């Protein structure tokens, strides 16, 4: 799979407790991105954060989580990401979150020919 040098970064901010049906929302988004053959998706878990409610979400010593903030990042060609946006909108319809897009330059993706030969 190739990603063009000029691509877009889709960044999705949501909470760990956000759901789509019986499934965590972040998992539903990543699985849909894979199903639609996007180049890849990464879920990053934040230690502390707040959103539109200004309610602070943070990790506690005695707790595993307090609805910690999550960021999903997807980088691919603009047309592939644009095709994914209606599905993302459908998945996020019942919850809240922030979705951003920015143009990026891809400098490296996957293994180089030399590394693949090893």
What residue numbers bound the domain in which 77 lies? 6-106
Residue 113 lies in a domain: no
Q: What is the number of structural domains in the chain?
A: 1
Residue 1 lies in a domain: no
* Cβ-Cβ contacts under 8 Å for 7 (sequence gap 6 or more): 75, 76, 77, 78, 103, 104, 105, 106
Residue 102 lies in a domain: yes
Domain of 36, CATH number, reads 3.30.70.120
Q: Are the beta carbons of 48 and 57 closer than 8 angstroms?
A: yes
- Within 10 angstroms of residue 53's Cβ, the number of other Cβ atoms is 9
Residue 52 lies in a domain: yes
pTM: 0.84
- Averaged over successive runs of 10 residues, the pLDDT of the chain (118 residues) comes to 89 94 96 97 89 70 70 97 98 90 93 55
Residue 118 lies in a domain: no
């Amino acid at each position: 799979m190739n990603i063009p040098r000029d691509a877009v970064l889709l960044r999705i901010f949501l909470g760990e407790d956000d759901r789509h049906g019986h499934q965590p929302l972040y998992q539903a988004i990543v699985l849909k991105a894979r199903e639609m053959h996007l180049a890849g998706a990464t879920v990053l878990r934040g230690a502390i954060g707040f959103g539109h409610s200004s309610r602070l979400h943070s990790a506690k010593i005695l707790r595993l989580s307090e609805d910690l903030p999550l960021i999903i990042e997807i980088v691919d060609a603009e047309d592939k990401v644009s095709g994914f946006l209606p599905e993302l909108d459908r998945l996020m319809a019942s919850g809240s979150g922030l979705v951003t897009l920015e143009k990026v330059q891809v400098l490296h993706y996957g293994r180089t020919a030399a590394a693949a030969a090893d």
